Structure 1
Amino acid sequence: MTVLSTSSDGFRLHGEPFRIISGAMHYFRIHPDQWTDRLRKARLMGLNTVETYVPWNLHQPEPGTLVLDGILDLPRYLRLAQAEGLHVLLRPGPYICAEWDGGGLPSWLTTDTDIRLRTSDPRFTDALDRYLDLLLPPLLPQLAANGGPVIAVQ
């Protein structure tokens, strides 16, 4: 069964009617020591879901690398959201708005002046594929289908 689905009357989560009451909370803008507190406050405000972007430029400062520690420990943030009883809408980009320089595209990618960013240019799509190949495996346990809090990825 699909975890999150739509019907003529709205969303369904695990087959039951579900109303997404969400707010944006970008983990990379909050000190990790404050994540639990902020997630609790989000729940106490009445949210049942938080949404977060995933900034490519921070998680992959150089080609072939992946940073998932400290303020970028996204798996930990997702576990904390789940522990607080919150669902997550995950937005890994590749381009993020969020008033983020260059839309979160890594600077090493933009040094090629001929590359056509955010298109089907193979230089762009190949770099994105390599990044997602590194980013997604540690996040798979966090998907709702695997018992985690992530109910949708945009």
Structure 2
Amino acid sequence: MADVRASIVISGLNPNLEVKIRQCTLVLFCQAILFSEPEPDLVVARGTILDYSETHPRPEDIYLIVEVADSTLKTDCEIKDKLYARAGISDYWVLDVRNRQLHIFREPTPTGYTRHLIISEPNRVAPLAFPQSEIALSEILPPSA
């Protein structure tokens, strides 16, 4: 679960991602529950909000999961990554607010992800499902102090 600072980042992340991938049918959730645990900070899934009025998105419905790590980096990168990989989530991001980096996990296996990239500003990234929708890391991080 995100703390206050992370919640502020999530509030900014949601519309920035939404604008970048608006042309596709999807739904954005904050603190949605997928398959009991864990509870991600943001989920990008296929469909509309009405598709999930009685159920949560299943792993095959999910394009991207984002965790915002202010105080949870170790858990997000060393525990949750394995849970999401085991579930078959193909694109998992951890936004490291303190170090101003984005951890990108891709190519899931039953034991974890085979690719773990770390990018920092001024780099750009796009979700696997929306390669035309690049977003600059500076667009989703809070202003530097």
Q: TM-score, normalised by structure 2?
A: 0.30
Larger fraction in strand: 2
Q: Find the structure with the greater CA-based Rg.
A: 1
Q: TM-score, normalised by structure 1?
A: 0.29
Larger fraction in helix: 1
